[in-house]
A and B are shown apart, each in its own frame.
Chain A
Amino acid sequence: MALIEIKNLHAEVGGKPILKGIDLSIESGEVHAIMGPNGSGKSTLSYVLAGREGYEVTEGSVTFDGADLLEMDADERAVAGIFLAFQYPVELPGVTGMTFLKEAVNARRKAAGEGEIDAMQFLKMVRAKAKALGVTDEMLKRAVNVGFSGGEKKRNEILQMSVLEPKLCVLDETDSGLDIDALKVVSEGVNALRSQGRSMLVITHYQRLLEHIRPDRIHVLAQGKIQKTGGPELAHELEASGYADFAEAAA
């Protein structure tokens, strides 16, 4: 059974239809990529899956891990195992990275009927994971994303992902704003999280990210619909021909 199954998904923002019938299903352990031109609905898809307010589903269904995803609030979806790595991670003044992570972990434990996590044990675990991603202790003590560089913000997202151990990771333009070195660190972090029990949906405009994170399937999203699906080779085709064909095809 697929971990997530999206059927004929239509969604609008502020009354404007953006997604116009998406069908997509991802098996457990698979990595799928969604590529597409600007304005094709890539980010909208990630927000709809994460349950952001203001993104209205008008038709279709999404089944996640056997449950009706669209019935759940954003925080319930997160606890159920959906993680969105933000294109533009948000600043939380005065809230340290460590506090934020602990709150997030405890929210999951609370939902599972467990007590709060042991502070020392947690500190150890986070430090080990942070080290692998080049996130320093100093960064964990700073307020979340405040004064972080683009690369620091993205590494921090991947750290959160690694600590929260989601079932489905949605990476929204994680490569944007990264130089080639930072891209490498982030990609390695993501690859380290690939596992049998974890699926990924990598959203990107460019092919370069997919050089580092090799997807099992690639979907081309344009005009609010998936126009084409293929293997990793599709990325190279797109690199050569661009998205123009799809824009025209849909129009």
Chain B
Amino acid sequence: MVATADTVRQVEDVTGKEYKYGFSTVLEMDMAPKGLNTDIIRFISAKKEEPEWLLEWRLKAYEQWLTMQDPDWAKVGYPPIDYQDLYYYAAPKNMDDGPKSLDEVDPELLRTYEKLGIPLKEQEILAGVVAVDAVFDSVSVATTYKKELHKHGIVFCSISEAVKDYPDLVRRYLGSVVPFADNYFACLNSAVFTDGSFVYIPKGVRCPMELSTYFRINAQNTGQFERTLIIAEEGSYVSYLEGCTAPQRDENQLHAAVVELVAMDDAEIKYSTVQDWYPGDENGKGGIYNFVTKRGVCRGKRSKISWTQVETGSAITWKYPSCILQGDDSVGEFYSVAITNNAQQADTGTKMIHIGKNTRSTIISKGISAGKADQTYRGLVRIGKRADGARNFTQCDSLLIGDKCGAHTVPYIESKNPTARLEHEATTSKISDDQMFYCQQRGLSAEDAVGLIVNGFCKEVMRELPMEFAVEAQKLIGISLEGSVG
């Protein structure tokens, strides 16, 4: 089942209610003018009724950002972005601007939904025909899952709510993993972030359900500068799912999100992403720029952070989910499938920073390039002076489809400790004519054959995905490679 469909059903089961169609409230258009300056930041902060310290933090970030330059080291190319030509606050989104019915939606998008087996009602949400809260009875959904989580003392809400309701936690951890001056896009995000998720798992609690952004009402329209903060206290566990397994209509071209994870002693955070934003057309027209900073710190002993990502969308991806392994015996993992087709570009990978003793990390990266797409794995493994007995295993495999695409592997390894053990394996291969013919001779269409072969290639990563995601992610791989052979 589609993850979102599953969720809808879960919610339906617990609430015992039918979906509510149509609007019950009139959404008010609420927008700041185009451009970026201190007034806009003050406007955002005021709209969100933020405390003084947060406004100051934003303004400091903005000041810093003005002195910074767009990073140019990634192997991606795009025209300069005019930051004064963007809207930094437009919420909630006015549905009147969107398509009125599925008849007005790009038939290509609808065909994809059909292939994924997405129910009609959900197609409407994804295509932007109706708002999420037009389908859900938002109050009952919110209260149902919140009640369940509340029983365990778990907090799961928007970051704006968290600023109001849990100011101490937010103040303590916001920017503690990704400081505002970290990089150009993270700095921009710090100045203008509008929403995102906040998760707090108390000591010793194992979160009883996979937390998905979909659960959070209006998650769809959080805009282009999301900010997510997840804190797992001592001995706790949480699995967080980000994204949807169907491409979403999205008008924002630039997405610059920041995700921060903090794991204390013996805590574990599993963060899974399926990203399939609009990749642009065959010629590279349109599509999302996905410039994201994701980082987790294993602050406690024996803590563990695991990133799993399946990236099939966006015109340009610039993303390096990382782990700082500070606590002794802590563990970092990165499992990634990145697919680029047509004119897509991706420069993605991870950083594993070993600080504590006996810290371990695993990197499995599977890159698939088709059409005239270009893809780079860029990774850093750094072993600090005190990280006695640190270990890393890295495997980077690239698969090429056709002869016009590119795959590049750029691993950086820095070791300052002689007891560290590091392994790096890398392969590059192509789907052979023999493999295609073998599959087709058994009755598979060319498309299905590519899907099967690529899924086989990605297997080690796919099995790390939560069940809820895995089946759709498999289908998605096939769909995103459509037209790449034959």
- Chain A: residues with CB nearer than 8 A to chain B? 50-54, 73-75, 78-79, 83-84, 86, 89-95, 99-100, 103-104, 107-108, 111, 143, 160, 164
| Nearest A residue to B432, CB-CB | A90
- Chain B: residues with CB nearer than 8 A to chain A? 432-435, 437-446, 448-449, 452-453, 455-460
CB <8 Å contact, B440 and A94: no
CB <8 Å contact, A164 and B456: no
A75-B444 in contact given A92-B438, A92-B439 (Cβ < 8 Å):
yes
CB <8 Å contact, A100 and B457: no
Q: Which B residues are in CB contact (< 8 Å) with A108?
A: 443
CB <8 Å contact, A107 and B448: yes
CB <8 Å contact, B434 and A160: no
CB <8 Å contact, A79 and B439: no
- In angstroms, Cα B444 to Cα A78, docked, is 8
- In angstroms, Cα B446 to Cα A73, docked, is 10
CB <8 Å contact, B442 and A160: yes
CB <8 Å contact, B437 and A100: no
- In angstroms, Cα B444 to Cα A83, docked, is 13
Q: Which A residues are in CB contact (< 8 Å) with B441?
A: 50, 52, 74-75, 78, 83-84, 86
CB <8 Å contact, B453 and A92: yes
Q: Which B residues are in CB contact (< 8 Å) with A83?
A: 441
- In angstroms, Cα B83 to Cα A234, docked, is 83
A164-B443 in contact given A92-B456, A95-B453 (Cβ < 8 Å):
yes
CB <8 Å contact, A75 and B445: yes
Q: Which A residues are in CB contact (< 8 Å) with B440?
A: 51, 73-75, 78
Q: Which A residues are in CB contact (< 8 Å) with B442?
A: 78, 100, 103-104, 107, 160, 164
- In angstroms, Cα B410 to Cα A231, docked, is 64
What are 22 pairs between A and B in contact, CB < 8 Å? A50-B441, A51-B440, A73-B440, A75-B446, A75-B449, A79-B443, A84-B441, A90-B434, A90-B437, A90-B438, A91-B435, A94-B455, A94-B458, A94-B460, A95-B452, A95-B456, A103-B442, A103-B452, A107-B442, A107-B443, A111-B443, A143-B456
Q: Assuming A100-B452, A111-B443, what are 9 further A-B pairs, CB within 8 angstroms?
A: A75-B440, A78-B443, A90-B432, A93-B457, A94-B455, A94-B459, A94-B460, A99-B452, A103-B452
CB distance from A211 to the nearest CB of B (A): 28
- In angstroms, Cα B472 to Cα A22, docked, is 48
Q: Which B residues are in CB contact (< 8 Å) with A95?
A: 452-453, 455-456
Q: Which A residues are in CB contact (< 8 Å) with B452?
A: 92, 95, 99-100, 103
A107-B435 in contact given A92-B452, A95-B452, A95-B456 (Cβ < 8 Å):
no
Q: Which A residues are in CB contact (< 8 Å) with B443?
A: 75, 78-79, 104, 107-108, 111, 164
- In angstroms, Cα B433 to Cα A49, docked, is 17
Q: Which B residues are in CB contact (< 8 Å) with A99?
A: 452
Q: Which A residues are in CB contact (< 8 Å) with B458?
A: 94
Q: Which B residues are in CB contact (< 8 Å) with A52?
A: 437, 441
Q: Which B residues are in CB contact (< 8 Å) with A93?
A: 456-457
Most chain A beta-carbon neighbours within 10 Å: one of B435, B440, B448? B440
Q: Which B residues are in CB contact (< 8 Å) with A53?
A: 433, 437
Q: Which A residues are in CB contact (< 8 Å) with B434?
A: 90
| Nearest B residue to A99, CB-CB | B452
| Nearest B residue to A80, CB-CB | B443
- In angstroms, Cα B443 to Cα A83, docked, is 9
- In angstroms, Cα B224 to Cα A63, docked, is 59
| Nearest B residue to A73, CB-CB | B440
A103-B444 in contact given A53-B433, A94-B458, A95-B455 (Cβ < 8 Å):
yes
CB distance from B34 to the nearest CB of A (A): 48
CB distance from A43 to the nearest CB of B (A): 13
Q: Which A residues are in CB contact (< 8 Å) with B444?
A: 75, 103-104, 107
Most chain B beta-carbon neighbours within 10 Å: one of A74, A103, A164? A74
- In angstroms, Cα B440 to Cα A106, docked, is 13
- In angstroms, Cα B449 to Cα A214, docked, is 35
